Amino acid sequence: MPDYSKKTDLEPREVMKIADDFFGQDGLGLVKVSHSEDESCFEGEGSRVKIRACKGETTKVELESSEIDYQIKKFLKRL
């Protein structure tokens, strides 16, 4: 069960790009440990976030996290 979810008009690839920029080396500095077209997992310094973007009528974004709830909320505001 995801910790957070949001619907957006963005395409899954756009969501993944925003996630890379926000959570990755140029953002929070987390390391991407796995990824696919519609799912990525980032880890670092005791934090972990898994993001999934599922296309339907709108794109449903689901996130599971540990230790970075505040940053997750900031990310969701960008979508």
Which residue ranges of the chain lie beneath pLDDT 70? 1-2
Fold of the domain built from segment(s) 4-78: TATA-Binding Protein (3.30.310)
In the chain, the N- to C-terminal Cα span, in Å, equals 20
pLDDT at 69: 85
Counts of helices then strands in the chain (DSSP H, E): 2, 5
| pLDDT one-digit tens code per residue, 21-39 | 999 999 999 999 999 999 9
Between the alpha carbon of residue 57 and those of residues 9, 13, 31, 45, the distances in Å are 9, 15, 31, 36
pLDDT at 66: 86
pLDDT at 39: 97
pLDDT at 2: 64
